[in-house]
Structure 1
Amino acid sequence: MYSLADYITAFIISLTVSIIVTPFVMKFARRFGFIDHPNYRKVHSRVMPRLGGASIVIGTLSGLLYLHELIIHLWPMIIGASIILLVGTLDDKYTLNAKTKFIGQLSASCIVSLSGITIDFITLPFSSERIYLGIFSYILTIVWIVGITNSINLIDGLDGLASGVSIIAMTSILCLATLNSQFLIISLTTILIGSTLGFLIYNFYPAKIFMGDTGSLFLGYCISIISLLGLYKSVTIFSLVIPIIVLAIPIFDTFFAILRRLLNKQKILDPDKSHLHHRLLQLGFSHKQTVLIIYAIGTFFGISAIIFSRSTLWGSFIFVVFLTFTIQITAELIGLIGKHQPLLTMFKKLKD
């Protein structure tokens, strides 16, 4: 077990290395063609270097080398992360199709699941009765890892959005892990927050570099793993909801994206321009305002998750119902205003 001084040192190392390395990654990306070109679906209007996720990875590895005793516990996750990084790097260079990226994510999640990191049973509320999941424990683990990995990837549409939302989510997980003395999670989140924060300095609006799929897939994968470790082996029905609340923005944005594409008879993996950040831009908010609004929403859900974890069972139930209605109503209002031009014009006038 490491001391507080060790955690602070690991954070500073990962932060500093990420800050120092990012300019070199920018030069490397430009020289070797890791470039993001503008198109109809993207918000940026000029050619930008990507592969910025390499800075996050290098910063994370630096912090991990300092807290080297963790490595022996992380081999399945490290192997899975290597596959994720390979897929992300190839996509940043050659723009892989969605099916190829999905196969890579599935492979990485299978390695983690087969290593034994699964949720084996669920304890029912008001009872000590356990429901053993059997083969479904592997399926649940794989679905969770692939789902969260993709959700972070899908919200990476504005400068600093995915990196900022990831930092907020990981900070919330860090607080929950501290309250529950989960030292492995504390170590991992400390390192990841430091490396991502160092990169965010260059990625916040106006960005000098994009994280690309190297970064968004890596962050999504890591967040899915550390949130899964918090549930390791067994959960109650209500504790299962906690990581969902922490990651409410990417999870619900992905859920509505899938639902929207199914209703429009589109392929689920096809990209579109109707995510939450696109909706807010359509309402007339600036690029920077949109990112800050989503940061605020993410912070709200992070704090909510911490409160949820400390509340009673009935309090938790009421809290979940309230949050569910809040999410649904907000999404419907944004969609309604975005679709109706008179309402959109009125909103912009009120905003101005």
Structure 2
Amino acid sequence: MSPWLIIPLAAALSLLLTGALRRYALVRSIIDIPNARSSHTVPTPRGGGVAIVLSFLLALPILATTGVLPWSAMWAMLGAGSGIAVLGFLDDHGHIAARWRLLGHFAASIWALYWLGGLPAISLFGLELELAWFGHALAVFYLVWMLNLYNFMDGIDGIASVEAICACLGACLLYWLGGFDSLIAAPLVLAMAVGGFLYWNFPPARIFMGDAGSGFLGIILGLFSLQAAWTSPKLLWVWLVLLGVFIVDATVTLIRRLLRGDKVYEAHRSHAYQFASRQYGRHLPVTVAVAVINLFWLLPLAACVVLWHMDGVLALIVAYVPLVLLAVRFHAGELEKP
């Protein structure tokens, strides 16, 4: 099978599976009921992210067999992705204590890094630094944070899907322009799988992604960035720039809640995007704004790194400063006023 045939098939499979999962959730009453910490007001089926997981994971062995994805990357994504998805699925259907979830997150991250070879040398203001074991440990925490922040940011209709599609398609465009064609296939397949789900999740959403899908996207996107860094160290910064909206909002919110002494593992709705959705009274303007920021701010800066050799750290700083100001402007991490 041609690896490029997988791309439309992933989209079609995800589209059909999401519809089937929605019917299953309605029959089994797997419904997200709004509460005081919710950003939605209508009871909505959840668990649709399983369609993304299955569509992408089924494609991985085919991509590896046809030679467009290294087997080491395939095993990293298949093992870690399926583990995180199963853990999220179980949590969606019941409750798993935070300590056991975190243990599973670290186990999945260590598995993935074993197959990828850990953290490669990173470029820092023109220097390439080999961090050895410290770098590998840092990469584990990076993956754990990525999967958790993606879970935190999946709080309004379409936002997690739009972010994943923008990051993946943006990276694929830059890979093509920069001569890194060997890295294109997997992010492109994931973008198509998320696109099939987005048909059902676009505001107003008819089904939610659930922890199975959001955690899965977080760790896979993190793995894409590390896999790319093994090809060229500057590509790690490219991914960090492209994912800036989620990284900044989640990190600013976490820091401000930690400084206030909140229990950070408890559910809340104090992210900037959640305040913004309440201010505008709808999810759609915020989700569209995320796409606009990705397209007109973050993608051009990432292109500067790939095409015009802008230092990755400098690009990250330039990209993040306005995003931090925007997060503060929309009260990220603040207590919600009655």
Question: Which TM-score band (shorter chain)?
Answer: 0.7 to 0.9
What does residue 121 of structure 1 align with?
121
| 1:96-245 equivalence runs, <5 A | 96-123=96-123, 125-126=125-126, 130-232=128-230, 235=233, 240-245=236-241
Q: Is contact 1:43–1:158 with CA below 8 Å preserved after alignment?
A: yes
> Aligned pair 1:16/2:15, yes or no?
no
Distance in 2 (CA, whole Å) between partners of 1:221 and 1:205 is: 25
> Aligned pair 1:84/2:109, yes or no?
no
Cα offset, 1:167, TM superposition: 0.7
What does residue 282 of structure 2 align with?
286
Cα offset, 1:205, TM superposition: 1.0
Cα offset, 1:183, TM superposition: 4.4
Q: In the TM superposition, what whole-angstrom CA distance separates every residue of 1:167-199 from its partner, at most 9, and x where no partner exists? A: 111111212322344445311111111111001
Q: Is contact 2:253–2:270 with CA below 8 Å preserved after alignment?
A: yes
Find the partner of 1:309 among 297, 306, 320: 306
Cα gap change, 1:205/1:11 in structure 2, threshold over 3 Å: closer, same or farther? same
Cα offset, 1:291, TM superposition: 1.3
Mean Cα deviation higher: 167-176 or 196-205 = 167-176
Q: Which secondary structure does the structure 2 equivalent of 1:269 belong to? A: coil
What does residue 46 of structure 1 align with?
42
Distance in 2 (CA, whole Å) between partners of 1:68 and 1:134 is: 28
> Aligned pair 1:72/2:68, yes or no?
no
Q: Is contact 1:172–1:303 with CA below 8 Å preserved after alignment?
A: no
Cα offset, 1:209, TM superposition: 0.7
Cα offset, 1:143, TM superposition: 1.5
Q: Is contact 1:50–1:209 with CA below 8 Å preserved after alignment?
A: yes
What does residue 328 of structure 2 align with?
332
Cα offset, 1:152, TM superposition: 1.3
Q: Is contact 1:122–1:131 with CA below 8 Å preserved after alignment?
A: yes
Q: How many residues are treated as equivalent by the alignment?
A: 331
Q: Is contact 1:53–1:211 with CA below 8 Å preserved after alignment?
A: yes
Query: Which of 1 and 2 has greater Rg?
Result: 1
User: Any gaps of 5 or more consecutive residues in structure 2?
Assistant: none
Q: In the TM superposition, what whole-angstrom CA distance separates every residue of 1:87-128 from its partner, at most 9, and x where no partner exists? A: 11101101334333222111100111223432243355455x
2:216 partner amino acid: F
Cα offset, 1:62, TM superposition: 4.4
Cα offset, 1:27, TM superposition: 1.9
Q: Is contact 1:51–1:210 with CA below 8 Å preserved after alignment?
A: yes
Q: Which secondary structure does the structure 2 equivalent of 1:232 belong to? A: helix
**Sequence identity (%):** 26
Distance in 2 (CA, whole Å) between partners of 1:124 and 1:244 is: 14
What does residue 345 of structure 1 align with?
none
Mean Cα deviation higher: 324-333 or 58-67 = 58-67
Mean Cα deviation higher: 304-313 or 291-300 = 304-313
Distance in 2 (CA, whole Å) between partners of 1:187 and 1:37 is: 38
Distance in 2 (CA, whole Å) between partners of 1:145 and 1:59 is: 22
Mean Cα deviation higher: 78-87 or 192-201 = 78-87
Q: Which secondary structure does the structure 1 equivalent of 2:129 belong to? A: strand
Cα gap change, 1:328/1:20 in structure 2, threshold over 3 Å: closer, same or farther? closer
Cα gap change, 1:76/1:319 in structure 2, threshold over 3 Å: closer, same or farther? closer
Cα gap change, 1:120/1:66 in structure 2, threshold over 3 Å: closer, same or farther? closer
Q: Which secondary structure does the structure 2 equivalent of 1:162 belong to? A: helix
Cα offset, 1:222, TM superposition: 1.0
Q: Which secondary structure does the structure 1 equivalent of 2:184 belong to? A: helix
The alignment's C-alpha RMSD in Å is 2.7
> Aligned pair 1:55/2:51, yes or no?
yes
Distance in 1 (CA, whole Å) between partners of 2:239 and 2:261 is: 30
Distance in 1 (CA, whole Å) between partners of 2:93 and 2:335 is: 36
Cα gap change, 1:158/1:317 in structure 2, threshold over 3 Å: closer, same or farther? closer
Q: Is contact 1:26–1:52 with CA below 8 Å preserved after alignment?
A: yes
User: Any gaps of 5 or more consecutive residues in structure 1?
Assistant: 342-352
